[in-house]
Structure 1
Amino acid sequence: MPPKTPAKPTGTGSTATTTGASNRVGKPKPKSAAPKLTRPKPGQLPKHYRRAVFKEKGGDLSLEMVELKPPGANEILVKVEACGVCFSDTYSQYNAHNVEFPLCPGHEIIGRVASIGSNVVSWKVGQRIGSGWYGGSDGTCFNCHNGYFQMCENGVVNGVGKNGGYAEYCLINQEAGVVVPNNIKAEIAAPLLCAGVTVYNTLKRANLNPGSNIVVQGMGGLGHLAIAYGRAMGHRIIVVSRGKTKEQDAYRLGASVYIDSAKLTPETLPEAIKKTGLISLAITTAPKGEVISPLVTALGPEGKLMVLSVPEGGEQPLPVSVYHMLIRGLTVGSWPSGHSRDSEEAVSFAVLNGIETWTDAYPLEKANEAFKHMLSGGSKYRTVITMPK
């Protein structure tokens, strides 16, 4: 996991970077102007588009204008409406998959089909489309054969292994396309393709009886959606969060109980949770060593603890009471986002049940500001970059 603190900024964060230079010795030529972004006629595509990119490991985002390329045979060109900003985008910033810079991040993409490749038969121009963390799979490995496409041994991640959605246009693999209804705003739908599908799959696969007690620890981007999805699935939600600032929001989202962990110790937290009822599932979205052990201790028989994010500061051991796991038959696990069909389910469920992501929106010109806002923890829930109409 890349470090939380970004490296010393090296770019302006919002300045176009395309320049020209003279190859002659002697009198230099003036710098050539960046390509002008002209408005195309209806039905036409522009020759160039803007995107926000990392140009070096640990650097800032900067805007650049690049040539618009047609989709390959199995690709879809998407005119982006909005793209979510996720902490996992630091994998792009620090080039976790060792691809070439410049690299355009973004894996919570909502837009419309602008053009399709010759082998694409399931999509048409103008159709609403999205794409999430899952950016494509080989379809032949063991994991794919068993339906775990997002765990493909040779899979690709949007915005990490290939250019993503911090852009006016982007290319996605056809198998990574997600059908998105027209009756949901782009900035609300975008985070559902990562945070939303992650908590949706976690809750769905827990196989709980209606009315089960679920603890949601950490009330940020993942946590606020876990509350909303869990309540919509008919469960009773107990929120564990530090401080009182988000208490009223928790109740608005559907929580039944709010526990301020700042007033408790690791020793007293389990008892406070147990007083709310028999806990079938605990979801931790802000895992820390001092929180994990109390959550395990608070679980009822055959309870499950699901860890849905990397601990702050990167990989680190998380203490778990093996004794409590043995005597109560407990399970500790995780779930990695979802594939296209999972995302379609998560979005459809949200639309049908009135679940909306709470977001802070920034225009593409302020992509670097949006990214830093997310890193600083300034985003109360989710941050989204929106594109010109």
Structure 2
Amino acid sequence: MPTHRAVHVRSAGEPLTLVDVETTSPGPGHVRIAVAACGVCGTDHGFVSGGFPGMTWPLTPGHEIAGTIAELGEGVEDHSVGERVAVGWFGGCCNRCVPCRQGRLIHCENLQVPSWQYPGGYAESVIAPANALARIPDELSFTEAAPLSCAGVTTYDALRKTRARPGDRVAVLGVGGLGHLGVQFARAMGFETIAIARGAGKREDAERLGAHHYVDSTADDVAGALQALGGAAVVLATAANSQAMADTVGGLLPQGELVVIGATTDPLPISPMQLILPGIGVTGHPSGTARDVEETMHFAVLSGVRARIEVRPLADAANAYAAMDEGRARYRMVLTM
């Protein structure tokens, strides 16, 4: 039986270990991907630490996968061996539940997420449902495509589904793994872009990424600073800090939107009165479907938006994960096989 290398986490909180595992063939409706690159996402911490229900061990993390189709399962007709594809948080849907039948595939009741419902992309080979595949444009390398399949689509799709129009002021809270893409996408979409982050040290980076304005949340009253700029139509909250999110609400224009993509379990300290009088909306936004990933990558090609990455080999996965987990990554770590 042929084998491939993959990272295993034996149980919650255990170290990431490189092992050899059997390489199996895909079942009906699935494909086997020869993985070329896999991004290291902040959400991987939740999997490695056992923070999601129904997890099975050992676990292989990774849901920002890019590679080449190596083998087709029975019934797969829309893809071919050798095709360059990506798989993100959206790792397949059932096409049978009510949300799927309503076209809301990202809310599938049986949504499959790589590393949760099946082994993820910290590996040389992955088997994934065919309906999870996003075709990678020729203009993008595997290492460029991988982060766009989760971090990229989450920020891009969240921004394009707001009511903001070109020329409106849009603030991005956090200039990290998600936020540095959010700033680029906001600028490329024609928004007057405001970056909000902790400390003066992020100003230069934020401006280089495309921010027209920078707000240092450690030195300024964030809501006041936003209002001084004229108020924001949208705040895209990428930083996983509930208090920091709440601090932006007073800086929104009437009928403004706080769009939350930074994952935290802490309650949002916002009062109903802060929302009622100005008609503020607070929305949580998940990732995007395989088609959304394709459209994100297409826009990235048109606009020049790219994740800022540091590439490490699969054998160095534990160190790459630690760099992300400890906040030493700037901005995305990508493993190559």
Same-fold status (TM-score > 0.5): yes
Counterpart position of 1:65 = 20
Deviation at 1:143, TM superposition (A): 0.8
Counterpart position of 1:367 = 317
Deviations 1:173-227 (A, max 9, x none): 0000111112212112111111111111111110322111011111001100001
Counterpart position of 2:291 = 341
State the secondary structure of the residue aligned to 2:334: strand
Corresponding residue to 1:319 among 257, 260, 269: 269
Evaluate the alpha carbon distance shift between residue 289 and residue 157 of structure 1 in structure 2; reply closer, same or farther with a 3 A threshold: closer
Corresponding residue to 1:179 among 130, 135, 144: 135
Counterpart check, 1:80 vs 2:41: no
TM-score by length of 1: 0.84
2: CA distance between counterparts of 1:287 and 1:221?
11
Counterpart position of 1:15 = none
Which amino acid in structure 1 is aligned with residue 336 of structure 2?
Answer: T
Counterpart position of 2:200 = 244
Counterpart position of 1:351 = 301
Which amino acid in structure 2 is aligned with residue 133 of structure 1?
Answer: W
Deviations 1:152-177 (A, max 9, x none): 11121111121011011111100001
2: CA distance between counterparts of 1:273 and 1:161?
41
CA contact (8 A) 2:33 2:125 kept: yes
Corresponding residue to 1:378 among 325, 328, 334: 328
1: CA distance between counterparts of 2:297 and 2:323?
25
CA contact (8 A) 1:293 1:321 kept: no
In the alignment, structure 2 segments of 5+ residues that lack a partner are none
CA contact (8 A) 2:151 2:181 kept: yes
CA contact (8 A) 1:178 1:340 kept: yes
Corresponding residue to 1:123 among 76, 79, 83: 79
Counterpart position of 2:258 = 305
Deviation at 1:122, TM superposition (A): 0.7
1: CA distance between counterparts of 2:318 and 2:84?
27
TM-score by length of 2: 0.97
CA contact (8 A) 1:131 1:177 kept: yes
Deviations 1:220-255 (A, max 9, x none): 011000011111111011111111222111111111
Which amino acid in structure 1 is aligned with residue 263 of structure 2?
Answer: V
Counterpart position of 2:150 = 194
In the alignment, structure 1 segments of 5+ residues that lack a partner are 1-45
Deviations 1:326-357 (A, max 9, x none): 11111001110011111111111111111110
1: CA distance between counterparts of 2:76 and 2:104?
22
Which amino acid in structure 1 is aligned with residue 245 of structure 2?
Answer: I
CA contact (8 A) 1:373 1:379 kept: yes
Counterpart position of 2:173 = 217
Deviation at 1:99, TM superposition (A): 3.6
Counterpart position of 2:248 = 295
Counterpart position of 1:36 = none
Deviation at 1:147, TM superposition (A): 1.5
1: CA distance between counterparts of 2:29 and 2:95?
14
Deviations 1:261-285 (A, max 9, x none): 1112xxx321111111231000111
1: CA distance between counterparts of 2:6 and 2:239?
31
Q: Calculate the aligned-residue CA RMSD, in Å.
A: 1.3
Evaluate the alpha carbon distance shift between residue 177 and residue 369 of structure 1 in structure 2; reply closer, same or farther with a 3 A threshold: same
Which amino acid in structure 2 is aligned with residue 148 of structure 1?
Answer: R
- Larger Cα-atom Rg: 1
Q: How many equivalent pairs are there?
A: 336
Is 101-110 or 285-294 further displaced after alignment?
285-294
CA contact (8 A) 1:292 1:320 kept: no
Deviations 1:1-56 (A, max 9, x none): xxxxxxxxxxxxxxxxxxxxxxxxxxxxxxxxxxxxxxxxxxxxx92110111111
Aligned residues with identical type, % of pairs: 37
CA contact (8 A) 1:200 1:226 kept: yes
Structure 1 segments (4+ residues) deviating >6 Å:
none
